[in-house]
Structure 1
Amino acid sequence: MAKQEEPIMDGPKRMQKELKLMMEDTKLPQLRCLEVEPNNIFKWYGLLLPVSPPYDKGAYKLEIDFPQQYPFKPPRLHINTKIYHPNVNERGQVCLPILETEHWLPTSRIESVLNCLLATINDPQPDNAWSVDMANEYRNDPKKFFKIADAWVDRYSEHRPTDAELKAFDRKRKKAMQKN
């Protein structure tokens, strides 16, 4: 009797499909420079370009780690650029309900996850914060919160690429994809 293929084997095919859509699609203009670690489709990198102050003055490196069991288990997101944000802890972990095991659905797509992430970065959610103190500051003393957040953007954020730099990156990536 032949051994049945486990459903986990669908993970990489699904990831390839999602990656292709994310690379071709312009639905997420706030996520740019998407790349995959060489020979490891389970690790993606990108650059977040938020649109709301004060985060709109910087860029933030994003790392996406997919478990081998994806889509049956959620990916893990890390912002690898220091950011003063109530929903991001000091290790760059992001508090998003969609990624919690009890809320995760195998039908969830990475595009939806990234849309939630970007919505949260642009509009902090103090009711779902990693830092209660920072959430209270955001609620009760927004001037102080935004002053500190703005200083962190100036000090720690990545260079925010120009449109010309983004187009050059896209051209380079397309050439590399055509070679493969």
Structure 2
Amino acid sequence: MAKEEPIMDGPKRMQNELKLMMGYKELKQVQLLEAEKDNIFKWFALLMPNTPPYDKGAFKLEVDFPKEYPFRPPRLHINTKIYHPNVNERGQVCLPILETEHWIPTSRMDTIFNVLLATINDPQPENPYSLDIASQFQNDPKKFYSTAEAWVARYSDRRPTDQELAKIARRKKKAAMR
């Protein structure tokens, strides 16, 4: 009979997931992922969605983990203003996978990021934070896309090029070796 593995505690699990995510090449829409200095419970990343109108900008993401992680879900905040039916004015994202009643402790951050990106790239008006924006998305898509595009132009960060991202990665790797 195989020996059962002990349940990972939050910090060890988060260290393993962060290490996994930093080497994960398939999630090109999540860049510059890192933990806050001396605080594994707070991660930062840059979201680079791939569908209009959000594909013209980059959005700062903050992930806050509760001390009880993985038994309680992390909280995601998009710290860049975004006109989206599933994101409220404080940057909180409406994702059922992160609701306490739906949370599964075996969920990994790569899955959460994939769900987040799927929601940003393809708004879900049936599960909105903003009823007005969701209604506009469904009833006047032309106006929705026009407004969302204007917000991207006004509030989003500039998308770094692949060369800039590679340079930042090399700089971080060099700094980590010191």
Normalised TM-score (structure 2): 0.94
Q: For residue 128 of structure 1, give the secondary structure of its aligned residue in structure 2.
A: coil
Match of 1:17 in 2: 16
Aligned runs of 1:49-128 on 2, under 5 Å? 49-128=48-127
Displacement of 1:133 in angstroms is 1.0
Aligned runs of 1:93-172 on 2, under 5 Å? 93-172=92-171
Match of 1:3 in 2: none
Displacement of 1:27 in angstroms is 2.0
Work out whether residues 57 and 159 of structure 2, in 8 Å CA contact, stay in contact via their aligned partners in 1. yes
Which letter maps to 1:92? Answer: G
Displacement of 1:173 in angstroms is 1.8
Runs of 4+ in 1 over 2 A off after TM superposition: 176-179
Bigger mean CA offset, 26-35 vs 71-80: 26-35
Q: For residue 45 of structure 2, give the secondary structure of its aligned residue in structure 1.
A: strand
Task: Describe the superposition over 1:41-93 as per-residue Cα deviations: whole angstroms up to 9, x where unpaired.
Answer: 00000000000000000000000000010000000000000000000000000
Q: For residue 14 of structure 1, give the secondary structure of its aligned residue in structure 2.
A: helix
Work out whether residues 18 and 34 of structure 2, in 8 Å CA contact, stay in contact via their aligned partners in 1. no
Work out whether residues 49 and 58 of structure 2, in 8 Å CA contact, stay in contact via their aligned partners in 1. yes
Q: For residue 88 of structure 1, give the secondary structure of its aligned residue in structure 2.
A: coil
Bigger mean CA offset, 169-178 vs 77-86: 169-178
Work out whether residues 136 and 144 of structure 2, in 8 Å CA contact, stay in contact via their aligned partners in 1. yes
Aligned residues: 173
Displacement of 1:177 in angstroms is 2.8
Which letter maps to 1:65? Answer: D
- The structure in which a higher percent of residues are helix is 1
Percent of pairs with identical residues: 67
Which letter maps to 1:94? Answer: V
Displacement of 1:131 in angstroms is 0.7
Q: For residue 61 of structure 2, give the secondary structure of its aligned residue in structure 1.
A: strand
Q: Distance in 2 between matches of 1:65 and 1:177?
A: 23
Unaligned 5+ runs, structure 1:
1-5
Q: For residue 77 of structure 2, give the secondary structure of its aligned residue in structure 1.
A: strand
Unaligned 5+ runs, structure 2:
1-5
Match of 1:173 in 2: 172
Q: For residue 41 of structure 1, give the secondary structure of its aligned residue in structure 2.
A: strand
Q: Distance in 2 between matches of 1:62 and 1:27?
A: 18
Q: Distance in 1 between matches of 2:124 and 2:168?
A: 32
Normalised TM-score (structure 1): 0.93
Aligned runs of 1:25-40 on 2, under 5 Å? 25-40=24-39
Q: CA RMSD in A?
A: 1.2
